[in-house]
Amino acid sequence: MKAIHNEIVFAPGDIKLAEEYSRRLGNTTVRVHNQSLNRQKHEVGARGQTDSYSEQPRPLMLPQEVNELPFDKQLIFVQGNRQTEPMKILARKIIYFEEDVFKARQKMTPPPLPV
């Protein structure tokens, strides 16, 4: 794995690999809203409400989300170097026969083969 500079990953179908890719993607921070409602038993209608917000870490993609990548999605891991940071990319797969650029190339005449 040390010699790989770019790695393209599709839905692995293996939980161990999905866990590794999830770990390599890292975490993000999400803001979570918590709400509590207090009622006093002795006082009819007395209520208190508390709202709070907290920031909590969450994996960018959970292992099950990595395993369930749609057919048209892929993860790309690009190794960094001294000048650049490593990149993690969620990309759309190019289906060549659905792209206009490649559709035009299908109509090209193939070169003659030497006999």
Q: How do beta strands 47-59 and 73-78 pair?
A: unpaired
- Bridge partners of 47, per DSSP, are 39
Q: What is the pLDDT of residue 70?
A: 96
pTM of the model: 0.69
Q: What would the mean pLDDT of 103-113 be, rounded to a whole number?
A: 87
Per-residue pLDDT of 20-71, as tens digits, reads 999 999 999 999 999 888 766 666 655 678 889 999 999 999 999 999 999 9
Per-residue pLDDT of 68-100, as tens digits, reads 999 999 999 999 888 888 999 999 999 888 888
DSSP 8-state class, residue 68? T
Q: What is the pLDDT of residue 40?
A: 67
Q: Which residues contact 95 (CB under 8 A, 6 or more apart)?
A: 72
Domain locations in the chain? 6-106
Rounded Cα distance between 54 and 56, Å, is: 6
